[in-house]
């Protein structure tokens, strides 16, 4: 479906699917991106992402097995979707519950497989579930991301009736993204005004976007008005200024630059 869609013929459609590390299909999911995968299972036109909680790293550090839980059983017992369950908090409880079907794999073997497939294909993207949700100030749980994993936003699933009409329109993620060229931004006579203009422009895109053909995205955009202001050409700016990439001076510049961008972005957003 994604490969059949495009932006007026100018840009190919694309999509990403995220699966939790403790889902029982996780290894088969990853295998679809192997270079030597059977053509029957190989996925060429879809991007993959994996949601990894802190407990997975703890188990790998201990060279222990990790449990993969039946999403159906988890939802049946806890009354909410598997992706909305805090696995790190409830892991021991889930393992001990005989009502939940589960199987185990070695945690280090899982990360080894993950690294191999990333080396082969560049996928999957990784979302660190607990880190993301600790930093989330919005009510609700973040359980997935987007292409390139730069969007981390609370979402809710839609429900449908027997005619496949919307019974309840959820809130999906709308990516309103833009970037500043770091070299050009540093050359600007008014750094703050440059950031302000970018934030106002992205906000205008969000305000004027009405994707009625996908009501859940329209609802998410209307509720959150989320925008993302990225930065590019860091290496170009550092090279121009004779600063080694990764050097103490380069790290200091990067930290101060992004602190300053963040301050002006938040200030402009508050003024709007």
Q: What is the CATH number of the domain that holds 118?
A: 1.10.1650.20
* Same-domain pairing of 208 and 263: yes
Bridging pattern class, strands 125-128 and 228-232 = unpaired
* Same-domain pairing of 146 and 48: yes
Residue 226 lies in a domain: yes
At 110, is the pLDDT very low, low, confident or very high (cuts 50, 70, 90)? very high
Give the Cβ contact number of residue 220 at 10 Å. Answer: 23
Residue 8 lies in a domain: no
Residue 128 lies in a domain: yes
Catalytic residues: 146, 148, 150
Average pLDDT in the 68-77 region? 96
For residue 90, the model assigns a pLDDT of 96
CA angle 53-73-61, nearest 5°? 25
Residue 190 lies in a domain: yes
* pTM confidence score: 0.83
Over 70: is that where the pLDDT of 158 sits? Answer: yes
Strand ranges (DSSP E) for the chain?
16-20, 47-52, 65-69, 102-106, 125-128, 159-160, 166-168, 177-181, 228-232
Q: Which domain holds residue 212?
A: 177-271
Question: Tell me: the pLDDT tens digits for 172-225?
Answer: 888 888 999 999 999 999 999 999 999 999 999 999 988 888 888 888 888 888
Task: Look at 133 and 7; give whichever has higher pLDDT.
Answer: 133
* Same-domain pairing of 139 and 192: no
User: What mean pLDDT is reported for the chain?
Assistant: 90
* Same-domain pairing of 32 and 141: yes
* Same-domain pairing of 190 and 254: yes
* Same-domain pairing of 42 and 134: yes
For residue 202, the model assigns a pLDDT of 95
* Same-domain pairing of 228 and 123: no
* Same-domain pairing of 123 and 216: no
At 26, is the pLDDT very low, low, confident or very high (cuts 50, 70, 90)? very high
For residue 220, the model assigns a pLDDT of 86
Cα separations in angstroms, 108 against 55, 57, 161 = 12, 9, 43
Which of 90, 118, 152 is the C-terminal boundary of a domain?
152
Which of 118, 152, 186 is the C-terminal boundary of a domain?
152
Cα separations in angstroms, 100 against 29, 55, 72, 95, 162 = 21, 18, 9, 8, 29
Over 90: is that where the pLDDT of 16 sits? Answer: no
* Same-domain pairing of 202 and 118: no
Tokens describing residue 254: 């990067």
Residue 252 lies in a domain: yes
Residue 244 lies in a domain: yes
* Same-domain pairing of 92 and 181: no
* Same-domain pairing of 255 and 139: no
Tell me the C-alpha distance between 206 and 218, whole Å. 10
Which residue in 251, 264, 131 sits closest to 195, CA to CA? 264
User: How many domains does one find in the chain?
Assistant: 2
At 2, is the pLDDT very low, low, confident or very high (cuts 50, 70, 90)? low
* Same-domain pairing of 58 and 108: yes
Residue 167 lies in a domain: no
Percent of the chain at pLDDT above 70? Answer: 95
Task: Look at 33 and 194; give whichever has higher pLDDT.
Answer: 194
Residue 161 lies in a domain: no
């Amino acid at each position: 479906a994604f490969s059949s869609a495009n932006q007026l013929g100018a840009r190919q459609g694309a999509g990403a699917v995220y699966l939790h590390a403790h889902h029982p299909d996780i290894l088969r999911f990853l295998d679809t991106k192997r270079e030597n995968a059977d053509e029957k299972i190989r996925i060429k036109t879809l991007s993959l992402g994996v949601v990894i909680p802190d407990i997975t790293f703890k188990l790998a550090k201990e060279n222990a097995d990790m449990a993969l839980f039946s999403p159906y059983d988890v939802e049946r017992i806890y009354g909410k979707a598997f992706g909305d369950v805090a696995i790190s908090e409830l892991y021991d409880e889930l393992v001990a519950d005989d009502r939940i079907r589960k199987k185990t794999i070695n945690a280090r073997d899982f990360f080894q497989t993950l690294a191999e497939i990333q080396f082969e294909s560049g996928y999957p993207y990784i979302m660190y579930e607990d880190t993301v949700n600790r930093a989330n100030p919005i009510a609700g749980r973040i359980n997935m991301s987007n292409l390139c994993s730069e969007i981390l936003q609370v979402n809710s699933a839609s429900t449908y009736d027997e005619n496949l009409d919307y019974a309840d329109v959820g809130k999906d993620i709308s990516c309103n993204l833009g970037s500043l060229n770091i070299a050009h931004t540093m050359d600007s006579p008014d750094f703050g005004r440059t950031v302000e203009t970018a934030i106002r422009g992205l906000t205008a895109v969000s305000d004027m976007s009405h994707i009625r053909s996908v009501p859940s995205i329209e609802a998410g955009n209307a509720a959150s008005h989320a925008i993302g202001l990225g930065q590019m050409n860091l290496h170009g700016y550092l090279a121009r200024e004779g600063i080694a990439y990764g050097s103490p001076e380069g790290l200091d510049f990067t930290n101060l630059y992004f602190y300053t961008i963040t301050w002006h972005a938040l200030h402009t957003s508050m003024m709007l």
